Every structure is written in C-alpha cells, then in structure tokens.
Structure 1
C-alpha cells in the first residue's frame, strides 16, 4: 500500500505532533551522521523543541567555529555592500536635488534676461524688478568706486612725474651754469697774439 503524501502544515494534535517530532528528529540526526561518514563532510545540526529542549549533532568540534567565522565574513561583506548601496542612493538623491537647483537657477536667469515671463504673476514680476533695481545700484556703486581708484592712481602718477621733471630740470640747469662758468674762465685766460714783422721795438702796438 502506497504511503500518502504528508501535507506541510502544523499538526494540530499534540500527541501526533510530539511523535512526529521525535521520529523526524532522530531521522535527521541519523542522516547527518551518515552524511558526515559517507562523504567525509563536516556536518552540524542544532534543533530546539517546542519546549526549548536542545538536540544537536556535530561531526567535529570546529564545525560551529568554522560556521561562525564564515557567517561573520559574510556579514562584513553584506554590511559593506549595504553601505555602498546607501552611498549610491544618497549620491543619486543629492544629484537629483542639485539638478533641480540648477534648473531653477537657469529659469531665474532666463526670467531676469526678460525671457519666459508669460508664466510669472504680478508679484513675481514686481520682485524681479526690485532685484534688477538693486543689482543696477550695486553695479553703479562698484563702477564709481573703480573710477575713483583709477583717478587717485593717475593723480599719484602725475605727482611723481612732476617731481621727476623738476629734478631733471634742476639737474640740466646746474649743468648749463657750470658750462657757462667754464667758458667765461676760458675767455679770460685767453691771450691775444699778433703777428709782427721786424725788430721787437718796432712791434706794432
């Protein structure tokens, strides 16, 4: 007689559930032992009953340590992967926010240039007008400041050139006076000479 297929659901009868647990537990522990012997595999089985009683089998004392080591490494990899996923998600959010800000700034720039104003209300137009007036005032103030700085720089350069010209003029005047004095001294020291023919006493006066 063929054995009927067992439905995978909780056994409601307490006695039948306990009997099934004992049979299948023993069969599971036996299969684990056979697997470890026949295949030279490290097998460990941990079972807690409904009442909290522990049943276990381990083919080696180091099996659980090896399991904990592997699961710990897997957890590290999983945490690292999760961190990378969170970082990528955060970067995508920041990129989306930045793209919206750039789009908003570009739209504001076009509106300030007098473009795409059809969707603006009176309040928005008034606000843009005030912004343009304030910006124009700031530009003019900056322009006046730069012009004043340039004027001051030119005046300073003019003073330096005047002083340099005066020094050069003074130097040239001093040199001309010395030349004139030397020429006068040379003229005073010059001796007149005449060509006379005859004896000294008949020299022409």
Structure 2
C-alpha cells in the first residue's frame, strides 16, 4: 500500500500548519545538506516562518557569501547580455535591409531609363542583383558563425567566472540564526 497524494493547499488548522512547517523545514534542510554533500555544490536555504523567525542553512557556513555570489552572477549575466545586444545591433545596423537594396536598385533603374535598356542590359542587371544577393547571404552566414563563436567564448567566460566565484567565498564567517534575542551559530559538518 502506497502513500496517498497530498493536496497542495494551505492547511487551515494553525497547530497542524505549524507541525507540518517544522517537519517539512527539517526535511528541506536535510535534502539541502544531502545535495551539497552528494553533488559537491554550494547550497543555501533561507526560510522565514509566519512569525518572522529566520531559519537558514549553508554548507559553506556562509549564506551571505552564497547570496553575494548569486548577486554578482546575475549582474555579470546582465552585463554580458547587454554587451551582446549592443554588439549585435552595431554589427547589423551598417548593412542595408532587403527593402533598402530593392529601393536602391529601383532608383538606379529609373535613373538609367529602363525603357531604353535592351534585353542583354536587363540580363546584366539581373545577374548583378543575383550576385549581390549571394554576397549578402554569404556575409550573413559568416556573421552568424562569428556571432555563435562569440557566444561560445562568452559562455566559456561565464563558466570560468563561476568557478572563480566558487573559490572566492570559502573564507567567509559562519552564518548566524537570530531567534528572539539569542544569536546562534550553526556549523553543519
């Protein structure tokens, strides 16, 4: 006989809710500790109860350090995505769109009095347009490949920064839990 499925909704009885909170908090912290040990990763868990009491766990003895790493990582990713957007915009802004190319060709045809052109002249114009389209497609492919290479380099840089950040916060002080007027230091080993 298996466990029944628990319906996820707020527990109405205050005492039952507090008991469930305590049990699930302990289970969550146990899972966080197991994850950190088994997978050799940095884990931080911060929980505030209804009464405002703080419960925290960190395998590196510093929730603050992990939060600082998180903040710097988010800021670095925002900067990189902003750099990518600026670079992409500046790369493509100097090239003509297809509409601009067609307008330019149409103006040139009008200036040269297209009515007076022979079939061979029109074939010549058509060949020039096809050559220009091939060159544009080739340039577009090369730019896309360069962009992919740049993204791969940036991903490698992000991974390198993550590894560096992982080693930067190993010497921070242990976390503290403040319960009422007491201050307790937790060491999880």
Shorter-chain TM-score range: 0.3 to 0.5
More helix by share: 1
TM-score by structure 1 length? 0.41
Q: Which has the higher strand share?
A: 2
**What TM-score do the two structures reach when normalised by structure 2?**
0.44
Instruction: Look at both structures and tell me which one has the larger radius of gyration over its CA atoms.
Output: 1
